[in-house]
Structure 1
Amino acid sequence: VEAPLRAVPPSAPAPPAAPQEELYTVKAPMVGTFYRAPAPDAPPYVQVGDRVEKGQVLCIIEAMKLMNEIEAEVSGEVVAILVENAQPVEYGQPLFLIREKK
């Protein structure tokens, strides 16, 4: 016969969770098609791990046949690209996560 399990009170409170890293989210300023490079045969503007400066072009969004350069609003390191190349994006949709340079 198995003994019933008893709840064991914790001997100390659990440590607080580590604070989540603050990342800056670059969002689409318009509806359109997301492109990582200036042309199909060109290298992408940025890759994950790249350091970027405020004002540096990150991608383009094509809207109504106009190519709109989307620039970094902060300096730091690109930690994630959240959209696939040539995918439609909505206004306010997150595009990049950047770890700000302090």
Structure 2
Amino acid sequence: MTTQQVQAPFPGVFYRKPAPDEPVYIEEGQAVQAGDVIGLIEVMKQYVELKAEVSGTLESFSAENETVLEAGDIIASVEVSE
């Protein structure tokens, strides 16, 4: 199977949860559909949803919750379903 890396589209802070007291959007090992929200990136107090571009299984997160990212940093890996 093919693995696709999810990269930060711009610099900001990555969040796996919609709010501090909420559960994560998705756990490692769970199925994900193209368009599913897998996290948020905050830049200048604006939150942008980070969505999966392909359907498959979220293998792992490379970025932890509240990690400061640069554009192009790898956030997660998705094993693409065919």
With structure 2 as the length reference, what TM-score do the two structures score? 0.97
- Superposed, 1:8-47 pairs within 5 Å as 22-47=2-27
Larger Rg: 1
Is 1:70 matched up with 2:45?
Answer: no
Structure with more relative contact order (C-alpha pairs < 8 Å, separation 6 or more): 2
- Percent of aligned pairs with the same amino acid: 38
Q: Structure 1 stretches of 5 or more lacking a match?
A: 1-20
Shift, 1:87, TM fit? 1.0
Q: Deviations over 1:11-48 (max 9, x none)?
A: xxxxxxxxxx5310010001000000000000000111
CA RMSD of aligned residues (A): 0.8
Runs of 4+ residues over 4 Å off in structure 1: none
With structure 1 as the length reference, what TM-score do the two structures score? 0.78
SS at match of 1:44: coil
Q: Structure 2 stretches of 5 or more lacking a match?
A: none
1:80 equivalent in structure 2:
60
